[in-house]
Amino acid sequence: MGLYEGESIGALLQQGPPTPAVANVDIDSKRFAWLPEAAFIGHFATEINPVKAKVMHAVQQPLHVSTFDDVMGTPAWKSLPSWYLVAENDEVIPLDAERQFAQPMGADTIES
């Protein structure tokens, strides 16, 4: 199952337990989602130099929670060639979800 017209990211994420990074999201009073420093460095930027990862955390741009309710229009993969990298150690997007995203696209897929 990938993102099809009319689907939302939030609905897809609710299909399984949250990944380590998503489980630690902080939502501020204006409903912006932020990854706390420990989650950002420990789950999102795990292979980045720790000093650089701290800088990346400090300048991260938040995501408004309403984004998770936005529904997909016609996906570009329906009319364009697609490629997909399944990141085997991803702690943000579940591995099975990555594979599910790639399958309906008919994407050339690499697992690494």
- pLDDT of 44 reads 87
What local confidence, expressed as pLDDT, does residue 2 receive?
54
Task: Evaluate whether residue 102 is within a structural domain.
Answer: yes
CA of residue 105 relative to chain centroid, distance: 17
The mean predicted confidence, pLDDT, of the chain is 89
Looking at residue 38, what is its pLDDT?
94
**1 inside domain:** no
* Whole-structure pTM value: 0.66
pLDDT tens, 78-92?
A: 899 999 999 988 888
Q: Is residue 70 part of a domain?
A: yes
| Per-residue buried b or exposed e for 30-48, using 16+ beta carbons within 10 Å of the residue's own CB | eeeebbeeebbbbbbbeee
Q: Do the strands 63-64 and 83-86 form a parallel or antiparallel pair, or are they unpaired?
A: unpaired
Please say if the pLDDT value at position 1 is more than 60: no
Pairing of strands 63-64, 32-34: antiparallel
Q: What is the pLDDT of residues 88-108, one digit of tens each?
A: 888 888 888 888 888 888 899
Any domain includes 3? no
Residue 10 backbone dihedrals phi, psi, to 5 degrees: -60, -45
Q: How many domains does the chain have?
A: 1
Tens digit of each residue's pLDDT (9 = 90 or more) over 9-49: 888 778 778 888 888 899 999 999 999 999 999 998 988 99
pLDDT in tens, 41-80: 999 898 899 999 999 999 999 999 999 899 989 988 889 9
Whether 40 contacts 22, CB under 8 Å:
no
Q: Is residue 73 part of a domain?
A: yes
Domain that holds residue 62: 9-111
The answer to the question of residue 56 being in a domain is yes
Q: Is residue 26 part of a domain?
A: yes
What is the C-alpha to C-alpha distance for residues 78 and 111, in angstroms, rounded to an integer? 22
Query: Residue 2 domain-assigned?
Result: no
